[in-house]
């Protein structure tokens, strides 16, 4: 920044010298100076003009480097902070809105500080220099220019400040437009299938109309200041020329001085007009900075603990839910009530129950996707290896607990980056190939044109089974102590489900597991079963014991879901395979 200021000062000095050189040239010409002197003055003028332009280019280039580096760091801070916020916060903010906050607002600030801020600072310094030089030529002329500058600045500031709120409202409306558009595009197939295309178009038109009205309101307020200031500059320029002519006729100043004053008046008008135009970007930057600060000021509900997990035992970890009662929101009732479960290291627990019974909530508490203590309803503790998960750092929990769900998120990146999550889980190529072979994707990898460097277009071009197995490969790379599975095979055909079951068996070997089941067949390899109803554990025990007991809820669920006959079973398996 010191270097930028130094170069900017040289540029301003060269630009301020131009009117003085022009006046000197005119006076020397009128006095009959030699051609060589006039030529020298002309060459100095040209050199000063070119030098000022080159120095301006250096200032813009240099300030852009500084500003974009700072902007990228701010993007990283905003993205990292958003990732630390709880799911409830993300449920209230659409992905499109987050994109606007993290990228759009930062871009407005970066654009301003990379170019506009330097120009505004340079123009303000240029105006001050011109006023000083004009006052040196003649105090009356300097007074007229000073009054013009103050009147123009007061007009712009007074009117432009009123436009800041309008600019912020415009960005808020645009964020809603982008968020709604992203949601409609994400549900495109459902909209088409249910004939809701006209509704989606209507929503787009309604949001677009709001965006247009907000932009018009902001533009009217901003451009009104420019028009009013232009009138002030015109009057000031005329007054400066008039004062200069009077002074020249009285012999106080020379013709060259009058010409210099005119050039100063003209130069004063241009930077002030540029400031008026650049204030639009200033308003956008201020609105963006305000919104970015608001995001950074949002306190995450899940706070990082101090224990880095170094004291946890190696291998599989014990999992304990000690009389846990939990509610997502203070205004709602508890989702799970007095859940008391204790899993020894290496035990596989199957959770079964109707939709809304609290199965997924237990998985989220174990993985610290949610924390106890957020509402007055919350009670109890969740422990890993005897340590309360709230005392552990989030990084420690992520290292020791892996989650695999039926909704797999794949990125538009190479196979390697999808597996390592862009280096978050570093592994060499041999390790990656070995992991893919473990989950049954060895032949799939061998058929790819560029192997691990083959780019993926997200989940497009992959079967549901291949995408699910890639998620298992990620979990293998993490080498967790505890695995939480949210029925990853519920949407697969029977043939693909067998591959996923084999990968599941390999993944769970030697690890503690919580399997949230929608298909009872998934639980056949579990050690223990817990049945949930209305957020309570109504039955918990060894799977074999519960399956043999004719009065257990688990046995009744198995009987209710069993086919009527062997022939029916064979028929269903054949249909699933086909």
**Sequence-ordered alpha helix ranges (H) in 31-116:** 35-84, 87-92, 95-99, 105-111
State in Å, rounded, how far the first CA of the chain is from the last one: 69
Token output for 259: 């010409």
pTM exceeding 0.75: no
Report the pLDDT value the prediction gives residue 329, as an integer from 0 to 100: 83
**Nearest by Cα to 285 from 61, 119, 114:** 114
Q: Specify the DSSP element, H or E, that contains 529.
A: strand 528-533
User: What pairs with residue 514 in β-bridges?
Assistant: 349, 484
Report the pLDDT averaged over residues 186-192: 78
pLDDT > 70 in the chain, percent: 91
At residue 535, the pLDDT reads 92
Which contacts qualify for 205-212: CB closer than 8 Å, 24 or more apart?
Answer: 207/173, 207/176, 207/177, 207/180, 207/181, 208/177, 210/173, 210/176, 210/177, 211/170, 211/173, 211/174, 211/177
Angle at which helices 255-297 and 2-30 cross, to 10°:
160
What is the structure's pLDDT at 287?
A: 85
Let me know the angle formed at the C-alpha of 439 by 438 and 442, rounded to the nearest 5 degrees.
75
Cβ-count burial of 529 within 10 angstroms (0-12 exposed, 13-18 middle, 19+ buried)? buried
Answer whether residue 570 shows pLDDT above 60. no
pLDDT per residue over 317-353, tens digit each? Answer: 999 999 999 998 888 889 999 999 999 999 999 999 8
Q: Which residues contact 145 (CB under 8 A, 6 or more apart)?
A: 130, 131, 134, 236, 240, 261, 264, 265, 268
- Mean pLDDT (whole number) for 402-420: 88
On whether the CB atoms of residues 193 and 174 are closer than 8 A, the answer is: no
The per-residue pLDDT for range 547-566, each reduced to its tens digit, is 889 889 888 888 776 544 43
């Amino acid at each position: 920044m010191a270097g930028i200021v130094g170069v900017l000062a040289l540029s301003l000095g060269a630009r301020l010298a131009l009117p003085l050189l022009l006046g000197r040239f005119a006076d020397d010409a009128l006095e009959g100076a030699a051609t060589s002197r006039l030529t020298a003055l002309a060459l100095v003028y040209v050199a000063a003009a070119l030098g000022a332009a080159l120095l301006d280019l250096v200032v813009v280039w240099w300030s852009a480097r500084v500003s974009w580096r700072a902007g990228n760091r701010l993007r990283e801070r905003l993205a990292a902070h958003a990732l630390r916020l709880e799911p409830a916060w993300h449920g209230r903010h659409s992905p499109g809105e987050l994109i606007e906050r993290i990228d759009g607002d930062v871009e407005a600030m970066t654009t301003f500080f990379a170019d506009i801020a330097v120009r505004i600072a340079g123009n303000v310094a240029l105006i001050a220099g011109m006023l000083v030089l004009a006052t040196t030529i003649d105090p009356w002329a300097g007074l007229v220019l000073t009054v013009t500058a103050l009147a123009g600045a007061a007009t712009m500031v007074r009117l432009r400040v009123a436009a800041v709120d309008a600019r912020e409202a415009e960005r808020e409306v645009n964020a809603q437009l982008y968020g709604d558009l992203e949601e409609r595009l994400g549900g495109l197939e459902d909209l088409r299938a249910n004939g809701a295309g006209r509704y989606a178009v209507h929503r787009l038109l309604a949001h677009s109309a709001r965006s247009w009205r907000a932009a018009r309101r902001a533009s009217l307020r901003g451009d009104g200041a420019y028009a009013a200031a232009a009138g002030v500059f015109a009057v000031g320029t005329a007054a400066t020329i008039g004062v200069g002519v009077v002074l020249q006729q009285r012999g106080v100043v020379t013709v060259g001085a009058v010409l210099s004053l005119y050039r100063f008046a003209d130069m004063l008008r241009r930077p002030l007009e540029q400031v008026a135009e650049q204030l639009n970007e200033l308003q956008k930057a201020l609105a963006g900075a305000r919104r970015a600060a608001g995001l950074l000021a949002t306190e995450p509900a899940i706070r990082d603990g101090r224990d880095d997990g170094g004291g946890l035992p190696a291998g599989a970890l014990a999992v304990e839910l000690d009389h846990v009662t939990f509610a997502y929101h203070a205004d709602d009732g508890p989702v799970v009530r007095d859940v008391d479960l204790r899993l020894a290291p290496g035990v596989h627990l199957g959770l079964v129950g109707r939709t809304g019974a609290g199965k997924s909530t237990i998985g989220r508490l174990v993985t610290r996707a949610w924390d106890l203590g957020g509402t007055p309803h919350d009670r109890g503790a969740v422990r890993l290896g005897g340590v309360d998960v709230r005392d552990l750092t989030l990084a420690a929990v992520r290292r020791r607990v892996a989650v695999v769900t039926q909704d797999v998120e794949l990125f538009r990146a190479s196979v390697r980056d999808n597996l390592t999550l862009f280096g978050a889980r570093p592994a060499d190529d041999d390790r990656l190939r070995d992991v893919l072979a473990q989950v049954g994707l060895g032949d799939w990898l061998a058929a790819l044109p560029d192997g691990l460097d083959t780019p993926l277009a997200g989940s497009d071009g992959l079967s549901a089974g291949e995408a699910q197995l890639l998620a298992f490969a990620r979990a293998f790379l993490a080498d967790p102590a505890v695995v939480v599975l949210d029925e990853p095979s519920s949407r697969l055909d029977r043939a693909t489900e067998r591959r996923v079951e084999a990968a599941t068996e390999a993944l769970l070997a030697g690890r503690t597991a919580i399997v949230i089941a929608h298909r009872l067949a998934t639980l056949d390899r579990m050690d223990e079963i817990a049945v949930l109803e209305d957020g309570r554990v109504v039955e918990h025990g060894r799977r074999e014991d519960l399956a043999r007991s004719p009065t257990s809820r688990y046995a009744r669920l198995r009987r209710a879901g069993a086919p009527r006959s062997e022939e029916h079973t064979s028929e269903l398996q054949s249909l699933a395979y086909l």
